[in-house]
Chains A and B, each alone.
Chain A
Amino acid sequence: MDKPLVVLALPFAVFLLLSLAAPLRRRGVLAGWVSTAATAAAFVTALVIWRDGARGSLIVPWLPGDGGPMATVGLLLDGLSAPMLVLVTLVSLLVQVYSLAYLDDEPPRSLGRYYVYQSLFAFSMLGLVLSPTYLQMFVFWELVGLCSYLLIGFWYTRPAAARAAVKAFWTTKLGDLGFVAGIVMLWSNTGTFEFEALFRMAKDQTLPLEGLTTIMFLIYLGAVGKSAQFPLHVWLPDAMEGPTPVSALIHAATMVTAGVFLVARSEPLLVLVPAVLTIVARVGAFTALLAATMACVESDIKRVLAYSTVSQLGYMLAAAGAGAAAAGFFHLLTHGVFKALLFLGAGAVIHAVGTNDIFRMGGLWRFMPHTGIVFIAGTLALAGVWPLAGFFSKEAILEGVVAGGRPGVFVALAVTAFLTAFYMFRVVFITFFGPGHPHGDTHPPHDPPWLMRGPLWLLAALTVAIGVRFVIGAPGDHHPPVWLTVLSLALAGGGIALAWAMYGTGVIPVELVRRPLATIDFLARRRYFLDAIYGGIYRGLMLGFSRVVGWIDRYVVDGILNVCSAWSLRAGDALRRIQSGQAQDYVYGVAFGVLLLLVWARWWRTP
């Protein structure tokens, strides 16, 4: 178990080095290369681990307790964590390389800070993946949340970024409250945080089922926050205020999938509580559909991708809820690759044209052929076109949902698949083939430097390679029913065709489609008013609470002090009158003192 430890220790060492060695950090680019080199080493080690197929766990006592440790820490390497290690280190590595070019105009100081956060994130995410206990997972869960907060607010001087960071933090914390309550309740029921012990108990049917529904639902709430499920999905689109590579890494490929990972990890426990599974599936499907509709009307390229991420996360969780956690996890991995590709591609576009608005891009295919090719590859994969990676994972999910006997969820996911193809190709047609915009002759947009192009091509190649690998022969040679394959291809093709007709050629005017769907269009453009409602609640609660606190501070705390001071003043004013300033009055005082002494000596003194 020393290799996973190496994978975990490398980013942490870099984090410590960069945070403590200020001169190195302030060199910026150098710090970036150090971090990248360590991540590359971690990636290679993770690949070795994955290829070895070594499995096992390492448990070390942590918190002492009566009769054995109360909590343990350690590493758990199994079929879930090994591929995740590869995904996390791979995307981390590519994003770090990409960032060197993407953030080249940052001052060295803040670039160094960026890589401190990056290495801390890599460490935290790897720790989360390798956690053998719920408690350790929660610790790293919060650490990745912290990194997300720090990186969304990387440009903290922008008010929008600072707000988005706080919003992301708050919203995910709401789910985390459930998560921590759930694992504590689980511990009080079973006495352990360890996955393997819990799964053993689940298998032996010695796990106390009482209250398990509540517990698992609470744990699932953590996933709702982290994986941006309805109704806590609102933070993810706003999180796009961070640098685009961050969005690719944290808010598409790795951290947001932690919720899916959690659900997949907890599957042996979740199957014991069908009610929670139903909720997971329905909420996932609903989120997928809801986010897809919002993505269809969004004009900010990063936000389209963000809604797409929300939608795909809903997909994964719907699969997990329908009992096909493996399919959901598979989609997590493929999605991690091609969504990172899409985000990095979008980053290249934004880097080139300097805006996020797709309607102000247009005709970029001529200027940025490399970017266009890889972006279209990623889009095809996300739309689920054979033979790319997304096709197989999406099909696996649909199959799993059918097998799980959830027709409602299946319909929602099928519609989502159609919408996914539509909105992604809407972006492609508008951005790369739409009417060109004058960009100025001096600085026409161009493909990014090779530091950015390399990761893009690598991810694109991977997206294709994974698909080809499954074309050649899926492991176990399992084939889904033909109607499903046909249906999913038809949905993807239909979506692409509609997008082509509306935005590629203009055969179907946009208005023609929009008019019958006016209500949905209206609502989707306003994000179903959820942000406004939450904002209102947040403001109401916070401002109301602040008002109450302010009132207490002003009238109770200050009031007590004011009363005290007023009384002191009044008492002093009263006592002041004793001091008449007239010597004879003082002599009266002395005389009374003498009298008191005499009286005391005469009557009270015991001889």
Chain B
Amino acid sequence: MPGLHSYLVVAALVFAIGLFGVLTRRNAVGILLGIELMLNAVNINLVAFARLHGDPIGLLFALFTIAITVAEVAVGLAIVIVIFRVRRTIDADRLDLLRG
């Protein structure tokens, strides 16, 4: 049985990898995938702590996170498709209409 820290370190690594993906991907879908990884890392943390404390509430929140993530992915992908349709690109570099 690995200790809690093992889970947490693995989760942190996944989180960092996801962050790296978010920061470096040019493609909007790629960025979304990075976000998925980060959320996953959070879920691992939640479940690990739930196990540690023997409390099902951690699981519950992991469940919530998963559901919300699904919603986020659905909306995010819809936005990506709309952007794609309008701008003919999903290259995040070129989506800079908000530039000051």
Contacts and interface: CB of A to CB of B under 8 A. Distances in A.
A581 B96 contact: yes
A577 B98 CA distance: 11
A591 interface: yes
Contact of A584 (B23, B97, B99): B23
Given A587-B22, A591-B19, A591-B23, A582 B100 contact: no
Size range of the chain A interface in the assembly: 10 to 19
Contacts of B29: none
B23 A588 contact: yes
B31 A582 contact: no
A583 B100 contact: no
B77 interface: no
Contacts of A581: 95-100
A583 B92 contact: yes
A117 B66 CA distance: 90
B100 A578 contact: yes
Contacts of B98: 579, 581
Nearest to B98: A581
Contacts of A580: 96, 99-100
B92 A579 contact: no
A584 B100 contact: no
Interface string B20-31: 001110000001
A385 B95 CA distance: 107
A578 B98 CA distance: 11
A584 B22 contact: yes
A577 B100 contact: yes
Interface string B65-100: 000000000000000000000000000110111111
A76 to B, nearest CB: 78
A574 B43 CA distance: 41
Size range of the chain B interface in the assembly: 10 to 19
Contacts of B97: 581
Interface in B16-73: 19, 22-24, 31
Interface in A558-607: 575-584, 587-588, 591
Contacts of A587: 19, 22-23
Contacts of B99: 579-582
Nearest to B93: A582
A579 B99 CA distance: 5
Contact of A582 (B19, B22, B96): B96
A584 B96 CA distance: 11
A581 B96 CA distance: 4
Contacts of B93: 582
A588 B97 CA distance: 18
B31 A579 contact: no
Given A584-B31, A584-B92, A579 B100 contact: yes
B99 to A, nearest CB: 3
A583 B23 contact: no
A588 B96 CA distance: 16
Contacts of A588: 23
Contacts of B23: 584, 587-588, 591
A584 B23 CA distance: 6
A208 B22 CA distance: 94
Contacts of A578: 100
A193 B53 CA distance: 95
Interface string A371-382: 000000000000
Contacts of B24: 584
Contacts of B95: 581-583
- Residue among A576, A578, A581 with most chain B CB within 10 A: A581
24 contacts: A577-B100, A578-B100, A579-B98, A579-B100, A580-B96, A580-B99, A581-B95, A581-B96, A581-B97, A581-B98, A581-B100, A582-B92, A582-B95, A582-B99, A583-B31, A583-B92, A584-B22, A584-B24, A584-B31, A584-B92, A587-B19, A587-B22, A588-B23, A591-B19
Given A580-B96, A581-B98, A584-B23, 20 more contacts: A579-B99, A579-B100, A580-B99, A581-B95, A581-B96, A581-B97, A581-B99, A581-B100, A582-B92, A582-B93, A582-B95, A582-B96, A582-B99, A583-B31, A583-B95, A584-B22, A584-B31, A584-B92, A587-B22, A591-B19
Interface of B: 19, 22-24, 31, 92-93, 95-100
Instruction: Give the 6 A-B residue pairs with the shortest CB-CB distance, closest first.
Output: A581-B99, A579-B100, A581-B96, A576-B100, A581-B98, A582-B96
